[in-house]
Amino acid sequence: MREQDVTFKPGNHAIFLVFGLNKPDDTGPVKAICEDAPSFVRSLRNRYPAETVSCVLGFGSPAWDHLFPRRKKPKELSPFAEIKGEKFTAPSTPGDLFFHIRSSRADLAVELASLVTESLGDSVFPIDEVHGFRYFDGRAILGFVDGTENPDIPEESRRFAVIGDAEPDFKGGSYCFVQKYVHDMAAWNKLSTEEQEKVIGRGKFNDRELSDEDKPENAHNAVTNIEDENGEELKIVRANMPFANPGKGEYGTYFIGYASTFTTTRKMLENMFIGDPVGNTDRILDFSTAVTGALFFIPSLELLDELAAAED
- Annotate 9-32 with b (16+ C-beta within 10 A) or e (fewer): ebbbbbbbbbbbbbeeeebebbbe
Of 299, 294, 143, 301, the closest CA to residue 207 belongs to 143
Rounded Cα distance between 88 and 100, Å, is 27
Residue numbers of the chain with a pLDDT score lower than 50:
none
In a domain, 153, yes or no: yes
SS3 178: strand
Radius of gyration of the chain (CA): 19
Rounded Cα distance between 265 and 51, Å, is 30
In a domain, 222, yes or no: yes
Q: What would the pLDDT profile of 202-258 be if each residue is shown by its tens digit? A: 999 998 999 989 999 999 999 999 888 788 889 999 999 999 999 999 999 999 999
Among the listed residues 146, 165, 184, 312, the single catalytic one is 146
Beta-strand runs (E) in 23-78: 54-59
In a domain, 5, yes or no: no
In a domain, 211, yes or no: yes
Which pLDDT score, from 0 to 100, does residue 228 have? 81
Which pLDDT score, from 0 to 100, does residue 23 have? 78
If you ran DSSP here, which 8-state letter would residue 280 be given?
A: -
SS3 73: coil
Which residue range is the domain that position 240 belongs to?
13-308
Which pLDDT score, from 0 to 100, does residue 229 have? 79
In a domain, 158, yes or no: yes
Rounded Cα distance between 140 and 146, Å, is 6
Rounded Cα distance between 243 and 167, Å, is 35
Which pLDDT score, from 0 to 100, does residue 17 have? 98
SS3 68: coil
User: Catalytic: 282?
Assistant: no
Contacts for 278-282: CB closer than 8 Å, 24+ residues apart: 278/85, 278/86, 279/86, 280/217, 280/218, 280/223, 281/85, 281/87, 281/88, 281/218, 281/223, 282/88, 282/218, 282/220, 282/223, 282/224
In a domain, 2, yes or no: no
The string of DSSP letters for 76-127 reads: T-SPPPPEE-SS-EE-----SEEEEEEESSHHHHHHHHHHHHHHHGGGEEEE
In a domain, 112, yes or no: yes
In a domain, 123, yes or no: yes
Count of structural domains within the chain: 1
Provide the β-strand partners of residue 180: 254
Rounded Cα distance between 113 and 225, Å, is 34
